[in-house]
Amino acid sequence: MTVAVHLDSQTFLGHNQETYQELRLALQLNLRRQLLIAVCDNGALQAQLAEQLEAHFSPYPETVPLADTVRSRLSPVVTLRLDAQHPDLVREVLVWLKRQRLLQASNPIIPVFQIVGVDQLTRQSPTLQNRFLASLIRVDALLTQLDCRLLVWVPRPWLTKIRQSVPTFWRSRSGLFEFAGDPISPAPAPDRAPDHASMAPGPAAVSAPPEPADHADPADSVDPVDRPDLWTVLRQDLATLEPDTSGESTAATSSTAEPDPAGTELQGVTSTSPLAAVPPNQTASTVPVTFAATDHEAFSAMVMPPLGTVPQEVLEELHQAEAEAAKAIQPPDPADARTGADATVLPSLPSELVDSEDINRLWQYIHTLIRQQAGPLTIARAYLALGQISRNVVDHTPASPALLDFTVAAYERASAGLLVGETDWCDTLNDLASLYWLRSQQKTGAAAVAWLHRSIDTYQTALDNCQHSAPADTLGRLYSNLATVYGLLANDDDPLPWLEKSRHAYNQALDCDPVVRSPQDHGNLQNGLGTVHWELAKYQSPQHHLTSAIKAYEAALAQQSPQADPQTYAMIQNNLGIACWSLAQHERPAWLLERAIAAYTAALSYRTMATTPTGCAATHNNLGTAWFDLAEHVPNRLQALQHAARAYETALKAADKALQSANPQPLGFDLWATFHSVGVVHAYMAQALPDSELPQRQSHLQVSLQNCLLAYEGWRDSPEQLDTLVTALVYTVHLHFEIIGIAGQQAALSQVPGELLPQVLRRL
């Protein structure tokens, strides 16, 4: 015999009311691939809650005045009861879809499936119970392949068993909702066979097997009329949250449901600027920032009560209350944005969000939750949805400081209320730290460094609390982003310790992200690790670190498909070429330079002047340098110089096209240095040609002088570069004398700018 909880208890009702509100809100978010778990030991209460959810999400009649954009995003709820003899959750869903002929349909309407009947498995054999647990392993594949959503109702002992026996299912959950109530089983389904007693799946049975009639508990003989109507009492408390639509709701069927619009799930926003478009003698930064994977239409499907179902006087009272609440809500002090949990509401909406219908609806909803003193978890989830929508605007537009500050504040408030260590808390901190990184890009000097340190602290906090609870891909994303920010700090501080931390973080990320899970992500991590080793080679053990960089880049290329992502493949090939060129300055020059040339050539198959003129210019510039250096180590020096000249000249043409485009991107290399290189190469070619080819030698000398003078246009205010340029001019003028004679030398000197002439004559 169990002791009944008094349902008129305000504590009991308040808890269930808030839990039901959160569950309904989670379904209204219309997120993709949701797996929600509802815990309820009271079978009668569970049945009525499930029935009410199905009624609430039934398609609204056409007479209800809803906007088309709202109506198209409504997803019905379909209740599926597990077959006690074949308790396969995935099979139940697929059978229903097959009967509705939705598996082969284009753009099918996939409802929310709520699964009931798990409590009935308590009295089934261990074999059937294990069959049900085994079916949960395939739920993740079902969610991924169908983009569907599941709500599974379980009693508490089954929850414990699932958590222990099917950890993959447990980690995939999007939300857990626990209702209060003593174990009371509902009447068995009429179309099921009689239950059989067996051991419960958890530490304690959900309910004991029925005793013989002569030992029946007296409480079981009470007339049903005298039993408390659980749903009536609970619904009276919920009446303040939703209108009574019982007279208008219809059963959810595929023929009346409206389609869910095709949405794009954000798989991670990555901004990367590795060694691409950088000559070998310059530094590049790899800056990948990966956000958590979230649905970009969070809260966009929230449905307000239909106007036709609420009396006008009630609406007027609600509007008046909203207006008074809006006046009472004042923007917090800017310091509150730094503390997060100390502020109740956010600053004013930035201009980029003022016209967003989703933002305004959610903004009002958050104010309502605060005014109603809703639970901290409910408010935190609302702030998280607001931050995600705002962050999507940041991803697709140049973000103003006001927009970033607003988004940061929303995430800070969300992180303060979410459960520490849970996956959504880890993902929230990951996004927040990435936003701090973005904010640092809008600052300079010490202010930028301070934002980067906040980003590092936030990533580290997430890692410290999620090591044993977060999925491996979440940990890998955190380590990868942390490695990136460490690398950025190396540009503003003593570089060596930050680069070592970055290297360690990349290795940690690679341990969390094996190649079998995501080859492309694994390749990106290897590329980042290679860049860090290339940077470390400037400060210590160059041969060791450059060799490690080459291995990392080769490992990255092994996971990249040029057909799937040609530009990423080309970027890594370019990086490999730079690493080989750099190592050639220390050992095996001819062999390593030939490897560098092969890598650059492979990159240029996809970095063309038509598709990516900026990348094309950078890689051709690198290719010219490799050929120029190789000319000193091969018998046919003239041929290598000719290759170098063609590569440099193509780099200049591509650079000119890139700079003339509508949205020119930084070249990533010194254009004037390329003019200087062209001048030196043509001077060497004039010297290498035989005396019999005097016209060609004269032509090369003239091209050499012209390019040196073009380099002077860009270097005239840079003393260090001017000294290099004067050296090249002296060499070219001297060759004019050797090849053409005194007349040639005088002609060359007449073209030298007057301010440079004293230096050239002094060195001659």
End-to-end CA distance of the chain: 110
Q: How far apart are CA 359 and CA 391, in angstroms?
A: 11
Phi, psi of 153 (to 5 degrees): -95, 125
Residue 232 has pLDDT above 60, yes or no: no
Q: Which residues contact 567 (CB under 8 A, 6 or more apart)?
A: 606, 607, 611, 612, 615
Residue 245 has pLDDT above 90, yes or no: no
pLDDT of res. 73:
53
Tokens of 169: 């299912």
Q: How far apart are CA 562 and CA 605, in angstroms?
A: 10
Q: Is the pTM of this model over 0.85?
A: no
Is it true that 10-209+230-239 and 279-300+335-513 share their CATH fold? no
Burial class (CB in 10 A: 0-12, 13-18, 19+), 473: middle
Residue 696 has pLDDT above 50, yes or no: yes
- What integer is the mean pLDDT of 165-177? 83
Q: Which residues contact 60 (CB under 8 A, 6 or more apart)?
A: 66, 71, 74, 248, 306
- Angle 301-307-309 from CA coordinates, rounded to 5°: 110
Q: Which residues contact 600 (CB under 8 A, 6 or more apart)?
A: 573, 574, 577, 619, 622, 623, 626
Distances (CA, A) of 761 to 499, 716, 757: 46, 18, 6
Pick 279-300+335-513's CATH classification: 3.90.380, 1.25.40, 2.40.128, 3.30.43: 1.25.40
Average pLDDT, the chain: 76
Q: Are 3 and 127 in contact (CB under 8 A)?
A: no
> Based on C-alpha coordinates, what's the Rg of the chain?
34
Q: How far apart are CA 626 and CA 581, in angstroms?
A: 7
> Which DSSP helix (H) or strand (E) runs through 295?
strand 294-295
Residue 317 has pLDDT above 90, yes or no: no
Beta-bridge partner residues of 175: 36
The proportion of the chain whose per-residue pLDDT surpasses 70, expressed as a percent, equals 73
Overall fold of domain 10-209+230-239: Rossmann fold (3.40.50)
> Which DSSP helix (H) or strand (E) runs through 113?
strand 112-116
Distances (CA, A) of 34 to 70, 267, 298, 350, 595: 20, 15, 12, 30, 49
Least confident of 38-47, 232-241, 310-319, 747-756: 232-241
The predicted-structure confidence for 504-561, as pLDDT tens digits, reads as follows: 999 999 988 776 677 888 899 999 999 999 999 999 999 999 999 999 999 999 998 8
Strongest mean pLDDT among 298-302, 446-450, 464-468, 644-648: 644-648
Residue 201 has pLDDT above 60, yes or no: no
Distances (CA, A) of 706 to 14, 377, 406, 592, 703: 84, 70, 54, 32, 5
Q: Give the residue with greater pLDDT, 4 vs 472.
A: 472
The predicted-structure confidence for 26-36, as pLDDT tens digits, reads as follows: 887 777 778 89
The predicted-structure confidence for 107-159, as pLDDT tens digits, reads as follows: 566 789 999 999 888 888 888 888 888 889 888 888 877 778 899 999 988 88
Q: Give the residue with greater pLDDT, 285 vs 360.
A: 360
Coil/strand/helix, residue 80: strand
CB burial of 189-224 (b: ≥16 within 10 Å; e: otherwise) equals: eeeeeebeebebbbeebbbeeeeeeeeeeeeeeeee
- What integer is the mean pLDDT of 34-54? 88
Strongest mean pLDDT among 41-50, 212-221, 347-356: 41-50
DSSP state string for 407-476: HHHHHHHHHHHSPTTSHHHHHHHHHHHHHHHHHHTT--HHHHHHHHHHHHHHHHHHHHHHTTTS-HHHHH
Residue 309 has pLDDT above 90, yes or no: no
Q: Give the residue with greater pLDDT, 551 vs 338.
A: 551
Residue 248 has pLDDT above 60, yes or no: no
DSSP letter assigned to residue 741:
-
- What integer is the mean pLDDT of 267-291? 37
Q: Which residues contact 133 (CB under 8 A, 6 or more apart)?
A: 161, 162, 165, 166, 201
Q: Give the residue with greater pLDDT, 196 vs 21.
A: 21
DSSP state string for 667-692: -SS-HHHHHHHHHHHHHHHHHHS-TT
Q: Where are the domains of the chain?
A: 10-209+230-239, 279-300+335-513
Total number of residues shown for the chain:
764
Q: Give the residue with greater pLDDT, 275 vs 357.
A: 357
Name the pLDDT band for 105 (thresholds 50, 70, 90). low
- What integer is the mean pLDDT of 733-762? 91
